[in-house]
Amino acid sequence: MLYAIIGHAANPTAALARRAEVRPAHLARVEALQAAGRLIIAGPFPAIDSPEPGPAGYAGLLIIAEFRSLSAAQAWAADDPYVTEGVVDQVEVKPYIRVLP
């Protein structure tokens, strides 16, 4: 089943430096989902209405991917470097049904 992982950064500006440090490890995990054919979409939420938010940072992230269960998706999210290193400070994991495309 598909699950939406939604991460929220309470203070996007403060998290920006830490995000840059742990981004390679985060991307490696997301790329592994992609290589396994399980990734639907992944990306950040800019803190401002711009594709390049600069010092405003990112308000969070969205990953939609296939996992065997809700608990597996929650465990994957909990182990993500953006979570363990404090880039995002709140994470929601919800079942997701893809309708289109």
Q: pLDDT for 29-57, tens place per residue?
A: 999 999 999 999 999 999 999 999 999 99
Query: How many whole angstroms separate alpha carbon 87 and alpha carbon 18?
Result: 6
Query: How many whole angstroms separate alpha carbon 72 and alpha carbon 5?
Result: 12
CA angle 54, 43, 80 (to 5 degrees): 105
Mean pLDDT of 54-63: 97
Q: Which pLDDT value is given to residue 4?
A: 99
pTM of the entire predicted model: 0.95
